[in-house]
Amino acid sequence: MKASESGDEVKVTVTSTSRPGDICIMIAKQFQETVQLDEPLGDRAVVGSDGKGVPLAKEGARLPAPPTRAR
């Protein structure tokens, strides 16, 4: 993960390398990563490498509940 700072935004770039046979984890897990910034985030927007805003939380990005036993 890389963060590029400017006066009004912080652009984050996430890269991943997969090996043949790996399952795509993008559909299974939600990750959090801490990045050290040169200056406090303050009111700056956080955007992805595409320039679109990055949500603080993504709805529906949770693992499903484990199955329950039938009685």
* 15 or 68, greater pLDDT: 15
Tokens of 41: 């985030």
**pLDDT(55) > 80:** no
Mean pLDDT taken over the chain: 80
The dihedral built from the CA positions of residue 30, 61, 8 and 6, taken in this order, carries a sign that is: positive
Q: Which candidate, 3, 29, 26, places its Cα nearest to that of 16?
A: 26
Q: For the segment 17-27, what is each residue's pLDDT rounded down to a tens digit?
A: 777 877 766 56
* 59 or 3, greater pLDDT: 3
Beta-strand (E) ranges in the chain? 2-5, 9-13, 45-48
Q: For the segment 27-52, what is each residue's pLDDT rounded down to a tens digit?
A: 656 667 888 899 999 999 999 999 99
Chain centroid, CA 24 distance in Å = 15
